[in-house]
Structures are given as C-alpha cells and as structure tokens.
A and B are shown apart, each in its own frame.
Chain A
Amino acid sequence: MTGAFRTTTGGRIDRARPLSFRFDGRAFTGCAGDTLASALLANGVHLAGRSFKYHRPRGILAAGAEEPNALVGIDRGPGRYAPNLRATQVEIHDGLVAESQNRTPSLRFDIAALADFAAPLIPAGFYYKTFMQPAGWWAKLYEPRIRAAAGLGRAPRGADPDRYTQRYAHCETLVVGAGPAGIAAARAAAARGDRVILCDEQAEPGGSLLAETRARIDGLCAQDWLAAALAELAAEPRVTILPRTTAFGYFAQNFVALAERVTDHLAVPDPNLPRERLWQVRAREVVLATGAIERPLVFPENDRPGIMLADSARTYLARYGVKPGCRALVLAAHDDAYGAALDLAAAGMEIALIVDPRPAADGELPRRAMAAGLPVRMSATVVGTRGRLRVHEAHVGTIGADGGVRGVDVVSCDTLLMSGGWTPSVHLHSQARGKLAFRADLQAFVPGATPQACRSVGACAGEFGLQAALGPATRVEDDPVREGGFAGALPHDRPRARAFVDFQNDVTAKDLTLALREGFRSIEHVKRYTTNGMATDQGKTSNINALAIVAAASGRAIPEVGLTSFRQPYTPVTFGAFAGTSRGELFDPVRTTPIHGWAVAQGAIFEDVGQWKRAHHFPRPGEDMHAAVRRECAAVRARAGIFDASTLGKIEVVGRDAAEFLERLYVNSWKKLEPGRCRYGILLNEAGFVIDDGVIGRLAPDRFHVTTTTGGAARVLSMMEDYVQTEWPDLQIWLTSTTEQWAVIAVQGPKAREILAPLTEGIDLSRDAFAHMAVREGRVAGVPARLFRVSFTGELGFEVNVPAGQGRAVWEAIWEQARRHDAVAYGTETMHVLRAEKGYIIVGQETDGTVVPDDLGLGWAIGKGKRDFVGKRSLSRPDIAAPGRKQLVGLLSADPGHVLDEGAQIVAMRDPPPGTPALGHVTSSYWSATLGRSIALALVADGRARHGQTLFAPMPGGAVPVAVTGPVFHDPEGRSLDG
C-alpha cells in the first residue's frame, strides 16, 4: 500500500512499483509516477511548509508550477542540494530525500511562528516604518537581525559536482505546452513539414488530458487519444518532444530559453548525462499553449493546510489516484469546482457542502452535482476556518443583497476546495512584449497583439474547453461549458481576520488596502510596498486577486489599474544551467606563449595578464619574490637578461596607403619614416586620451609591423578596422593580427649584442649598421627573424621576432648563449621595475583614460605640422589646454627604504583637513636595485612645475613625505642604450 489515501484503481501511477522516500527524516512510500506532493497527500500529509513572514503552517495548494506553499529542499548528496523546489513538480524516485523549509526546529512546531501572534504589529511596510531611527542602529543591529531572518531555503554548500550543458536549436515551430491545444498545434505544424519542438514542463506530455475524466475525443477516452496522438508525433522525424522542459524566458525575435531537467527524476542517473540542459531556441513561429492557472479565493483564514485549489484536488485523484481527504467543503465561484466535487464524490469522498458565492449557477456541471444529490448553498461564502495544522471546520455565511454576510454555520471538513475560475498563463506572451486585454466575463487578462511571430492557443488565450483547444476537425463529446470566475476578496464581516492573497509572501487583503490608504496608487508601487507577487512564484496565484482588490478599494476598473510586468524566468532556473560548461578551467580561455613550457620547467611564478599567463619572476632556490627581482634587475643592468615578450599585440599593416593610415590614426609622423626604422607610436581616442602605445617598424614602403600593449591588441585592431571601414574606406590597406604568429624574445643589457652575434645571420649587429630604433630581417638560430633594436629597459636591447612554432627552440638557443655571459631570464616584475627606473610609461598604469600625451611628457611624439589625427581636435579643447592638469613626475620618499603604495593619494599638506582634494596619485612604485632605494611615478597637478617640492602621501600610519623629481631616475642621458 502506498498511502492510506491512495485509490485502488485509476490514475497514471504504477501501484506495482512502490518507491521509498524520506520527508523531514520520516520514511514514506509512493508509486512510480508520483510527485512528492501526490505521494505526501497519498499518505495523508498536507502540512508541507511554513510561510515566509508569519511562519504559518501551510499545505499543498496546487498540483503544478504555481504551487506557492509546498517549497522543499532536495538533498542528492554533497554539493547537490537544491532549495525552494515545488513539491508539486518534484518527481519521486527510490531514495529521494526531501525536507521542508523555513521552520525551527520542526514543521509541526516552529518557534518563529511567534511572528504570527505579532502579526497585527507587522503590517505592510513594517520594515520601512520601523527601522528608521536611530540611524546608527541600522548597520549594527537592524540589518544583521533582518538578514538572519530573511531568505527562503538554504544554499547548497560546496561546489556543484553536476554537469550542465547547453544547446542551440532552430525550428519553424516551437510549441510551448503539450496539453490538448499544444498537441493540436504541433500536429498541424508537423503536417506542414515544419521542424517542430514541443516542450512541456511536466514529466509526461498531455497537460489537462492526463487528468481528463469525462470527455471522449474522436470516440476515445482522453488518455487513449493522447497516447495515439503522441505516438504519431513521436514517429515524425522532424518533431522533437521535450518533457521536463520549462520555457522560462521569451526574448526578442522569437528567441526562447528552455530549461530541461535531464536526471533529477532518476534514482541512479547515467553519469554520462548532464543534470540539466539549457536550450536556446530560435523559432520562426512560437505557439504558446501554456494553459491556465486556477485562482484561489480570498476569504478569512484561507491558508490552512487542507485548503486546496479544487481542480488540483481533482487532478490528484484522476492522475495520481489520491484522495485529498475524507470530507470536503467546496467553495465554488466557478463551475469547474462542481466537476471536482462530482469526481471526488464518485471516488468515495464525502462532499459536506458546496458553497457558491454566486446567486445562481445553472451550468451543466452544477446541475449534475445537484442531480447527484450533492448539497449546494448559493449566495454563500466562507468567513472563517479552524484547525492549526489542518483545517477541521469552515464557517459558512450567507451573502445578503447589500453585500453583507450574516448567519454562520459551522461545517466540519478536513479538506476545503476552492475555485475562483481560471487565469490564463500569459507570462510568455507578455515577455514577448505582447499586449494584454481584460475580459470581464473571465475576470482575467488574455493575450492581445504581439510584435513577434507568436500566437496563443487554448486556455492561455482564454479559449477554454477541449473543443476550442483541439479544433473543429476533432470530435469532442461531453465537454460541457463551464462558467464563472471571481477575482478579489470575498465579503466577510470580520474586520480583524486575515485573508491571504499571496501565500508565499504572506500578503493579506488588508495589507493591500493599507497600502492604498497610505497613498500608493500605482500597482507597481503597491506590489513593491506589500511584496505581493514578489516571491519565487512571482504571484502566479495572487496577482489577479491583488489587482482586483486594489481596483475595488480605489474605485477603478481592473484594466485601469493595469498589470505588473511578467519577468523571466517563469519558474526558477539553476545557476548551473546558465553557466553550462563555463566553469573551472573552461570559464575563460588561458593563453600561453610558445616559451611557456620552458618557464614552467624553470620554476617561474606566473601572473595573469588578461587571458595570458606571463612569467612574473624566476626565483632560485631560497629566493622570495623580492630577492629574485633584485637579482634579475641587477643582472640585466650589469650583464644581460632575456625576456618573453610574445604576448605583445602585433598587427601587420600592409598596402599602398599603409603610411597614410597610420598617419591619420597615431599622433606621430609616419610618412617620412624610412624602411628599416622604428618609431614609438602613441594612439589616442577621439577624446584625446592615450589608449595604447607601442613600437612600429617600417619593413617596406607599404608594410608596417605594429606592436600594441598586451591587453590592447584586440581593441586596437578593432579600432583600426572601424576607421578603415567607416571613416576612410578610400584607403587601400589590409590589417592582419599577427600576435600569435610571432614569438618575441627581448634580449636586454650591455651583453645583448654579444649574446645574439653568434646566432645571427644576414644582419650586421654593429652599432653603426644597426642603430637604436631600427629593424632588420635575417636569421636568428637558423630561423627567419625580424630583429628590432629597441629597449624597454634603457639598456642596449633587441627584440627577436620568430615564427611562433620555432619560438621555444630559438629561446633555448639564445638562453645557451646568455648563460655564457651569466645573463638571466627575467619576468614581468623586473621588466616593470627597469622601465620605471627609466620613466617609461605603461598604458593602463600611468594612464587611466583621462591622460593626454602632454600630461605624460610625451608631447614631443606628436607629429609637427600634422593637420589631423584621431583625437587631435580634442587636444585643444578648453579643459585640456587649461593649466593645472595632472602631469607625470617621479617621487622619492624621504625614507629611501619606504616603498609607497600604488594608488596612494598625494597632497600638499602633512595633515590636510577632511575634504581637501588630492593633487594626484602614485601610479607605479618599486624598490629599485639599481638605485638602492625606492622610486615611484605619479600623476600630480602641475607636476612639472613642482620638481624639488616636498609633498605628502597620507597613509594610515602617518603621512609620508616625498620629494618631486623628474620621472627618469636612471641614466637620463641614455648612455646605456648603445651598450
């Protein structure tokens, strides 16, 4: 037996396959095909959760995605804990472990339920009103306490060990929802030859057909017709049926995101399968067949366990073989509740009373209920209920002609079923930016015009009944018209009683009217103030009732009040599905140079520069970073060092107009640069600010080898392409990224020439034949090379460019020679120190997007007599020509052993009063082994006029006095450049 409330026959569960599961530590048995909710109900368990604010005991309300109360955590082992899942959507399997949420210590006894007694003290807006004063208490007391109480469910601990995948798909027709309307649409599309994707959030497709008990379709019972229709669709090779797949987001141009749950329902998942799959579907047409959600009724104490939606109760019986209780009171504002009462009565449940707030109900189903002898009371409503952990009685009153309620009869019941009619699920239509129209007969919004190729069919379009869903070609028998529908709060005469509208966020009808009394009028404001519709269910069962209450209380019509926005996701989606494979090592590509393996073997310590791994320093045994950098710096200045500069951005600029192009782009003059010569180029944006720099060599009249910063390579190429295509399409040039084609080995230091000489063929390395800032082509270590004579250290220097594939071999050949001269391999930190000693800037360190060439002392680089280049006009804008700009200076701290903090502010006074603007800040700061003291570069207002002044860097331990100097600390005459 799989529960005392399980029927002996009927439903789609497999009684021959019992499954054991645990809920809050207690063992239960369910059947294959059960959801956690149906299995709990089969065992007589309604109490499934505690409400968020008042911690009131709550039961299972619904049977689908709209469930607001029965939120559970599912524990599938370490790192595999999923909170806030709707028990109505969790399929059970053998060994499933579920727990309730928001209760301490147990669901039946929750200490925090004291909040319920304090409810009159915590109305809507309580937090806004209460925690205002004193202001200082917010950070220390209020916020920590509120944070401790906030949150629903607990986050899993540890990394998620599961795998998630993503798929892109294209189709002519995407059908969302595999109920009768969706199946009909999919069949029609398949008949046209479309590629069709039919997705449905439930474990099996069929929607309402899975619980249909009366109607016959083409002479078959609904389940037999469904099986045949699905088999026919499944046989179509161009049709993809995706069960357990929620269409949760609808974006522009029919781009729809689907979340497929692949393995959560399996006791022992195939390890080769992902847990979830995110589908990104682009469809020519989208058919929304998302059905409708039954509306709860708002009456006092309408939130006790045992109070359910009527059609959900009927679904549990018809689909899962579960009776929701023994004795039901039915509150029917819609004919469908009569159908539920008939089905449940036929299954042996006692119907204590059908209470209908309408003055009359003469539809087919009410007539059948009365004919079957079910007790019915019209013009009546429920004005209260009793029962702490389960409803045990309902108080029924009569609605008078004046709208007042009088006379109370107590009706005992263990189940209260309610129906306020149906709310079409227009979520995706609205996300698709479709308009909504209000239909008074349904008391609901239905889809209007949409700017996308998207249409709604069946119940979500407000077209109810099987015949409307299946179309005229299908013969439907015994599918009577059902009428009714109610939105808002039912009348009662108990001003202090609470009637819940939003079950998940504990918003009552009184909270909504209070918000109106306090002056909120816009429904968006009322929503945020009361939090109605802002829980994880986004108000699926509450929005329309709230809207109707606000409309009635403010004397407006519902369409006048308007509707709050429907946002993605329809139901919550895991972070894993969004992340897909983009995690761990696959989160971001790692770029390594051809020489990387050598550096790893040498024990280099690496740093990340963008996506690149760069050798930061090469420590020897026993050395820390500082010792290694001091040794590397000293060796380069005394002898030589070799450095892997392969990450430098490189762009080959070729064509008749190559020089003209660079002339227009860079600040420098290029036309007169002779082939075989190089120049230090500076690139501005149109606002005049430095965005990149690098050495550019001219190899031939129509060919330049452009280098960029490591981080700027892609940006500069994009900018070049942009100008070529959009501003100067008349220029004949071609741009090719060659960053990864060349390995670059910098050989720097007085011994550089001697190291390269034995390896170099076809290039005269002598000082006269190969001057500083020249480029030659030849062979190095037998490999074709472009050899630049450039220096970023101030020493005699070469940069050897060889094809990347030979980079490692050439590096090792150079290293062999370097060792003979006791030279070192050095990393980026030594490179930084050596260039700072020379006052060479690094774009992004000495610049921050607000720095023009003159600020850096680089005004000399701007080509004289150039009429225009990118950014030129900005250099004469008034604020850039104005005095007082921050300029690059050197700083020497009074204590030579004190290395300033990079980013430290610079001020004129030792103890400036608060509010004093800084003169500038430290951009680079190092220990200089060459000078035997600390050095720093800084941008300081009017810096060049301040040489010799003492300024201060205020630090937590007291202001540090610094002397302002020029930015070149070492060899200002440049004597070392020639070796």
Chain B
Amino acid sequence: MLLIACPHCGPRDEAEFVCGGQTHIARPGPPETTSDAQWARYLFERDNPKGLHLERWLHRHGCGQWFNVARDTLTHEVKAVYGLLDTRPDVT
C-alpha cells in the first residue's frame, strides 16, 4: 500500500485515493480541427513505463482534490507530489 502525501492533507494511505492514470494529457480541441488520429491518441493511447510515471490521483476519501504524483512503477517510490496545474517536476 502506497503512502501518498496529499498536497492538502499530508501523508495518507493509498486506500484513501483513486488513481486516474497518466497525467499531462491535454484534451484536444476544438472537434472540427481535431483529426481522428489525434482524438484516438487522446482516448486510447497511454504510456506504460517501467520506472518513472507521472499520474493523476484523487484524494477521494479526504479533501476530494485531484493532484499529480511522480511514481516509480518498479519500486513504488513516490518521487514527487505536485499540483494538477503545475508543470512537471524535475525528477528522473
């Protein structure tokens, strides 16, 4: 079980959170200028790295806020926690 430092509530157990998958995915738009390929990438294509993964988490059973986590998928180490609208942190 991960220990995740919610930016609003502090370190809490993974059971309080929901993972929302890869982050920093911009919703393409407007529709009339979005190609089928662009839209399909947005809908279906996600990275599945061994190592650093930037992902969205929701503190559902806490403050109800979404935020970003930089996590190592191999070691489960949480390398950084940052705001949803922040730029990606300098971690490797």
A residues neighboring B (CB under 8 Å)? 251-255, 280, 282, 433, 451, 686-687, 718, 721-722, 725-727, 729, 867-868, 872-874, 876-878
Contacts and interface: CB of A to CB of B under 8 A. Distances in A.
B52 interface: no
A253 B76 contact: yes
B10 interface: no
A253 B84 contact: no
A253 B36 contact: no
B2 A252 contact: yes
18 contacts: A252-B2, A252-B14, A252-B76, A253-B78, A280-B1, A282-B3, A282-B13, A433-B76, A722-B20, A726-B56, A726-B84, A727-B27, A867-B31, A873-B31, A873-B34, A873-B39, A877-B36, A877-B39
A255 B56 CA distance: 22
B84 A725 contact: yes
A64 B79 CA distance: 40
A451 B31 contact: no
Interface of B: 1-3, 13-14, 20, 27-32, 34, 36, 39-40, 42-43, 56, 58, 60, 64-66, 75-78, 84-85
Contacts of B76: 252-253, 433, 451
Chain A CB within 10 A, most for which of B2, B27, B65, B84: B27
Given A686-B27, A873-B28, 7 more contacts: A253-B2, A253-B78, A280-B1, A721-B64, A722-B20, A867-B30, A878-B36
Contact of A251 (B1, B30, B39, B64): B1
A253 B66 CA distance: 21
A448 to B, nearest CB: 14
Given A255-B3, A725-B66, A687 B43 contact: yes
Contacts of B32: 867
A107 B50 CA distance: 52
Contacts of A253: 1-3, 76, 78
B1 A255 contact: yes
A718 B20 CA distance: 11
A67 to B, nearest CB: 30
Chain A CB within 10 A, most for which of B3, B31, B75, B84: B31
Given A253-B2, A873-B34, A729 B75 contact: no
B65 A451 contact: no
A253 B68 CA distance: 18
Contact of B43 (A282, A686, A867): A686
Contacts of B13: 255, 282
Given A451-B77, A722-B20, A868-B30, A874 B39 contact: yes
A7 B90 CA distance: 68
Which 10 A-B residue pairings sit nearest by Cβ, starting from the closest?
A: A252-B76, A253-B3, A873-B31, A451-B75, A255-B1, A725-B66, A873-B39, A251-B1, A252-B2, A872-B31
B57 to A, nearest CB: 12
Nearest to A256: B1
A252 B14 CA distance: 10
A254 B65 CA distance: 25
Nearest to B32: A867
Contact of A874 (B3, B43, B60, B85): B43
Contacts of B75: 433, 451
A961 B39 CA distance: 42
B70 to A, nearest CB: 15
A959 to B, nearest CB: 38
Nearest to B38: A873
A254 B78 CA distance: 13
Contacts of B84: 725-726, 729
A878 B56 CA distance: 30
A876 B32 CA distance: 10
Contacts of A252: 1-3, 14, 76
A252 B15 CA distance: 13
A578 to B, nearest CB: 14
Nearest to B85: A729
Contacts of B34: 873
A726 B60 CA distance: 15
Contact of B31 (A254, A433, A718, A876): A876
Nearest to B34: A873
Nearest to B28: A873
Nearest to A876: B31
B62 to A, nearest CB: 13
A957 B75 CA distance: 57
Nearest to A687: B43
A451 B73 CA distance: 12
Contacts of B30: 867-868
Nearest to A721: B64
Nearest to A252: B76
Given A686-B43, A722-B20, A868 B31 contact: yes
A878 B35 CA distance: 11
Contacts of A877: 36, 39-40
A433 B29 CA distance: 43
A725 B67 CA distance: 9
Nearest to A727: B27
Contact of A726 (B31, B36, B66, B78): B66
Contacts of A718: 58, 60
Nearest to B66: A725
Contacts of A727: 27
Nearest to A875: B31
A874 B31 CA distance: 9
Contacts of B85: 729
Contacts of A451: 75-77
Nearest to A685: B43
A840 B66 CA distance: 36
Contacts of B66: 721-722, 725-726
Given A252-B1, A451-B77, A726-B66, A868 B36 contact: no
A719 to B, nearest CB: 11
Contact of B65 (A255, A433, A725): A725
A687 B64 CA distance: 25
A764 to B, nearest CB: 40
A874 B39 CA distance: 8
B23 to A, nearest CB: 9
A725 B65 CA distance: 8
Contacts of B77: 451
Contacts of A873: 28-29, 31, 34, 39
Nearest to A688: B43
A684 B76 CA distance: 34
A257 to B, nearest CB: 9
Nearest to A724: B66
B45 to A, nearest CB: 13
Nearest to B68: A726
Contacts of B20: 722
Chain A CB within 10 A, most for which of B1, B28, B32, B36: B1
Nearest to B65: A725
A43 B60 CA distance: 59
A253 B13 CA distance: 10
Contacts of A868: 29-31
A499 B42 CA distance: 60
Contacts of A255: 1, 3, 13
A849 to B, nearest CB: 14
Nearest to B72: A451
Contacts of B43: 686-687, 874
B42 to A, nearest CB: 8
Nearest to B31: A873
A923 to B, nearest CB: 26
A166 B66 CA distance: 29
Contacts of B78: 253
Contacts of B65: 725
A688 B13 CA distance: 34
Nearest to B23: A726
B89 to A, nearest CB: 18
Nearest to B1: A255
Contacts of A282: 3, 13
A687 B40 CA distance: 9
